[in-house]
């Protein structure tokens, strides 16, 4: 059975970009007789606020998107992140790092999907792990895992190339886990068979496929969709003040009509669907 999920972070209100992502995940599940799950990614420290979670519930119901079962919360899964981190440490695949972003930017010689690629400064140093970030030794991990592939419904089969990120952080010093580790573990825990998300996260799937191999997790299929962008080509974002779904709901707009418009590719003036490359 197909199982999809919508996984917002309660560090701000939902906007039309979130609605578009939720509609895609919901509709793909319903069209194929599957399940649509809701997961709240609420481990971002003080930025995660309970009042936004209640707003999310109301927004999704207003859009006519009903999820199956109880909503899952990352904050209830901290032990699983820690356990996975310890397993990877025991395999000799993680190392502590205390480099600052400025130091990484100054030392980096190449750029990756998230910016300057970490040059491995701490890989062979004796660094105290207490309070440090823990990075994945990607070269060593790939040697252990061997060649890997993953499938995207729109882009087709992909050879996993997590080295495009360099040695990514899996255990952050300020949060229980990085997005890479938490999302991979959560999708397995929620038995997600089709991971739907925006094209901006397409590169992250290379890392997630490697983590699935290292931790013996099931491998889903991915479906990366386009992003809603404003006239300047930048995606809708909470921090840019994109109009919230809650404001539209309270103003009396018809949520189901908005969802239907998104399905049909009809977007408000000044908003369009990005044409981000599928490679």
Beta-bridged to residue 134, according to DSSP, are: 96, 171
**Secondary structure, 3-state, 19-49:** HHHHHHHHHHHHHCCCEEEEEECCCCHHHCC
State how far the Cα of 202 lies from the Cα of 41, in Å rounded to an integer.
19
User: Does the annotation mark 238 as catalytic?
Assistant: yes
State how far the Cα of 168 lies from the Cα of 265, in Å rounded to an integer.
36
Counting Cβ atoms within 10 Å, is residue 279 exposed (0-12), middle (13-18) or buried (19+)? exposed
The helix (run of H) or strand (run of E) holding residue 3 is strand 3-6
Helix (H, G, I), strand (E, B) or coil at 252: coil
Report the candidate in 211, 163, 203, 157 with the shortest Cα–Cα distance to residue 187. Answer: 211
Catalytic hit among 89, 173, 234, 238: 238
Beta-strand pair 169-171/133-136: antiparallel
Please say whether the dihedral angle defined by the alpha carbons of residues 224, 230, 235 and 239, taken in this order, is positive or negative.
Answer: negative
> For residue 128, what are its two tokens?
């105290």
Q: Are 127 and 173 in contact, with CB atoms under 8 Å apart? A: no
Q: Which positions are annotated as active-site residues?
A: 238
């Amino acid at each position: 059975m197909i199982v999809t999920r919508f996984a917002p972070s309660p560090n701000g209100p939902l906007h039309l970009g979130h609605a578009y992502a939720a509609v895609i995940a919901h509709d793909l599940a319903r069209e194929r007789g599957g399940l649509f799950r809701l997961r709240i990614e609420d481990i971002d420290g003080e930025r995660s606020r309970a009042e936004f979670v209640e707003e999310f519930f109301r927004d999704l119901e207003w859009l006519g998107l009903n999820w199956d079962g109880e909503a899952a919360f990352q904050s209830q899964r901290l032990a699983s992140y820690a356990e996975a981190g310890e397993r990877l440490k025991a395999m000799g695949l993680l190392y502590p790092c205390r480099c600052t972003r400025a130091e990484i930017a100054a030392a980096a010689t190449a750029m990756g999907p998230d910016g300057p690629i970490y040059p491995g400064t701490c890989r062979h140093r004796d660094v105290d792990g207490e309070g440090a970030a823990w990075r994945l030794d990607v070269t060593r991990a790939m040697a252990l895992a061997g060649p890997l592939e993953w499938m995207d419904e729109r882009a087709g089969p992909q050879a996993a190339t997590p080295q495009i990120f360099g040695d990514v952080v899996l255990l952050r010093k300020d949060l229980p886990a990085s997005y890479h580790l938490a999302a991979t573990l959560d999708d397995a825990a929620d038995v997600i068979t089709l991971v739907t998300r925006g094209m901006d996260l397409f590169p992250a799937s290379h890392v997630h496929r490697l983590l699935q191999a290292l931790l013996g997790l099931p491998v889903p299929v991915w479906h990366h969709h386009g992003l809603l962008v404003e006239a300047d080509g930048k995606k809708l974002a909470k921090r840019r003040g994109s109009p919230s779904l809650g404001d539209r709901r309270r103003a009396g707009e018809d949520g189901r009509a908005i969802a239907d418009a998104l399905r049909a590719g009809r977007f408000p003036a000044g908003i369009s669907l990005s044409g981000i490359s599928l490679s």
